[in-house]
Amino acid sequence: MAPFEYRRAGGVEEVLAQLGRPGLRLLAGGTTLVDLMKLGVETPATVLDISALALDGIAVEDGWLRIGALATNTDVAQHALVQAHAGLVSKAILSGASGQIRNVATIGGNLLQRTRCVYFRGTDWRCNKRSPGAGCSAIDGLHPGHAVLGTSAACHAVHPSDLAVALLAADAQVHVRSLRGVRRIPFDAFYVLPGATPQIEHALAEDELITHLSLPVTGAAPRSDYLKLRGRASYEFATVSVAASLRMHGGQVAEVAVALGGVGTVPWRMRSAEALLHGQPLTDAALDAFCDALLDTAVATEQNRYKLAMARAAVCRVLGGLQ
Ligand SMILES: Cc1cc2nc3c(=O)[nH]c(=O)nc-3n(C[C@H](O)[C@H](O)[C@H](O)COP(=O)(O)OP(=O)(O)OC[C@H]3O[C@@H](n4cnc5c(N)ncnc54)[C@H](O)[C@@H]3O)c2cc1C
Ligand code: SF4
């Protein structure tokens, strides 16, 4: 690992004053950052440890479930308010990593974890995300786990977070703070498609700290679920995942939200596809039309085409189980 300076932050103001300095990286649980430093993918000059900041609260306030950025994945998944108001978030978190990792991994760090593309993590390979303009070893190499949605000529790496898929379906917002003030980013604007600049992955500016997430808490919450399909039953990233919520009224769809993981360069949701289901009974034909629209822009190769059939089957299984 390259040498670096380690500092422990005592308060949020101290972090904001230093954020944006070249070569500075924040350390929360460290389960992503330290791995990447060991691999030589990240080589920060200074690591600022934010784990002692008081940003780990979980509460319901004014109709919103508020989750602190430094709450651990375990604490969030097991919290009674999260289980009561955002069951699919709890289920998505518990489907990821291992108990030991979830005990230290934080919510903010989970959102900013980097892709598991092996060519990104191996510095001997060409990778536009790690070294802009270097090329992409995955495109001509092995890519059965790579994305079929939101891809570009520069990069087709999958976004790996389970939590992010659930938050997208749950209409979450990301709250951030910098010396310039505070702002909230709707979850469907948080991640950025790779386009020609795959090194830019999200809408967070260099000087911004994630302080917390908020999720709307409604009186009559729709039924929801998270399904993760993967190579083995635990300790494995998603091949395809589905986070969905559904409320039927009089045999017809009154509310629906569906987000996909494992298939996109960003967690994938299409509100225009959901609109096709509104007011319809959940028939096979309606589900087919929905999946056609959801996957309409997919670009697959012989290696990863199977993900399209898996995604269709997973969506039908989850929505069918919720009606
Ligand atoms: C073996 C293994 C298996 C895994 N399996 C899964 C899985 O199946 N599903 C899944 O979803 N995830 C999985 N993960 C990823 C894991 O969930 C993430 O590594 C973890 O959530 C990151 O959180 P952290 O607090 O450790 O982040 P860190 O490593 O501390 O930070 C990650 C990044 O986020 C930045 N950051 C952290 N907090 C903030 C903040 N508040 N504001 C601004 N920037 C911040 C850091 O600067 C850094 O760039 C796995 C990880 C490992 C190592
Ligand atoms: S798919 Fe993206 S992350 Fe993977 S090697 Fe290509 S550019 Fe890098």
> Which protein residues touch ligand 2 with a CB less than 6 Å away?
115, 117, 119-120, 127-129, 136-138, 155-157, 198
Q: What is the structure's pLDDT at 62? A: 94
Mean predicted confidence (pLDDT) in 217-236: 90
Rounded to an integer, what distance in angstroms lies between the CA atom of residue 164 and that of residue 262? Answer: 11
CB count in 10 Å sphere of residue 274: 18
Q: What is the structure's pLDDT at 125? A: 98
Quote the tokens at residue 179: 């010396």
pLDDT tops 90 at residue 220: no
Rounded to an integer, what distance in angstroms lies between the CA atom of residue 237 and that of residue 301? Answer: 20
Quote the tokens at residue 193: 């498609």
Ligand 1 probe mutation, 101, 158, 163, 185, most atoms within 8 A of CB:
101
pLDDT digits (tens, 9 = 90+) for 56-93: 999 999 999 999 999 999 999 999 999 999 999 999 99
Weakest mean pLDDT among 25-34, 216-225, 307-316: 216-225
CATH architecture under which domain 223-322 falls: 2-Layer Sandwich (3.30)
**pLDDT, the chain, mean:** 97
Rounded to an integer, what distance in angstroms lies between the CA atom of residue 183 and that of residue 213? Answer: 11
Q: What is the structure's pLDDT at 212? A: 98
pLDDT above 90 covers what percent of the chain? 98
Q: What is the structure's pLDDT at 321? A: 96
| Length in residues, the chain | 323
Residue closest via CA to ligand 1's atom 36 equals: 109
* pLDDT-derived band at 218, boundaries 50, 70, 90: confident
Q: What's this model's pTM, rounded to 2 decimal places? A: 0.98
pLDDT tops 80 at residue 219: no
Q: What is the structure's pLDDT at 208? A: 98
Q: What is the structure's pLDDT at 132? A: 98
CATH architecture under which domain 1-54 falls: 2-Layer Sandwich (3.30)
Q: In angstroms, what is the span from residue 238 Cα to ligand 1's centroid? A: 15
Rounded to an integer, what distance in angstroms lies between the CA atom of residue 244 and that of residue 239? Answer: 17
pLDDT digits (tens, 9 = 90+) for 113-163: 999 999 999 999 999 999 999 999 999 999 999 999 999 999 999 999 999
* pLDDT-derived band at 222, boundaries 50, 70, 90: confident
> In the 3-class helix/strand/coil scheme, how is 204-255 assigned residue by residue?
CCCCCEEEEEEEECCCCCCEEEEEEECCCCCCCCCCEEEEEEEEEECCEEEE
Q: In angstroms, what is the span from residue 159 Cα to ligand 2's centroid? A: 11
Quote the tokens at residue 78: 């097991």
Q: Output Rg (C-alpha) for the chain, integer angstroms.
A: 20
Domain borders along the chain are: 1-54, 223-322
